[in-house]
Amino acid sequence: KSKSKDQYEETAYGRKNKKSLGYSSGMEITEEDIKGTDVTVFDILRKMPGVEIFGMPGFNQSILFTRNRTITSQAPRVVLDGALLDQSILNSLSPSEISSIKLLKGLTATLRYGQLGSGGIIFIETKLGKAN
């Protein structure tokens, strides 16, 4: 009996079974939500609750999560197909390449990723990454 890749999630402590984590991974946008839209990744993220986008469209935009109506000082990190990266990767990513986007905020992100997660985590799975 093979185990589905969807049953596991990458954490700061390695790959863990999702059922054993005991918490929700937060908000999610799927490929169906993105399909047919002619927007950037920043435009997609802007529509999610608690997400603030700063900067001029197309010019080194940055993302911060709001917490209790205040903006956190640390920028969220991006996990793209399992690799922890800087937000700058979002400038070169096309929405047509994305399979899903999930947000993880607050204490849950810090517990999973330590100090790196204190500003939140943006999980992006591409169609190519999902196929692998």
Residue 42 near residue 63 (C-beta atoms within 8 A): yes
What is the largest distance, in Å, between two alpha-carbon atoms of the chain? Answer: 50
Least confident of 1-10, 45-54, 72-81, 88-97: 1-10
Residue 129 near residue 99 (C-beta atoms within 8 A): yes
Alpha-carbon gap, residue 112 to 95, rounded angstroms: 26
Per DSSP bridges, beta strands 98-104 and 28-30 are antiparallel
28 forms beta bridges with 102
Assign domain 21-131 one CATH number from 2.60.40.10, 3.40.30.110, 2.170.130.10, 3.30.460.80. 2.170.130.10
pLDDT digits over 68-121, tens only? 555 557 889 999 999 999 888 898 899 999 999 999 888 888 888 888 888 889
Q: What percent of the chain is modeled with pLDDT above 70?
A: 72
Which pLDDT value is given to residue 5? 56
Which pLDDT value is given to residue 31? 86
Please provide the size of the chain in residues.
132
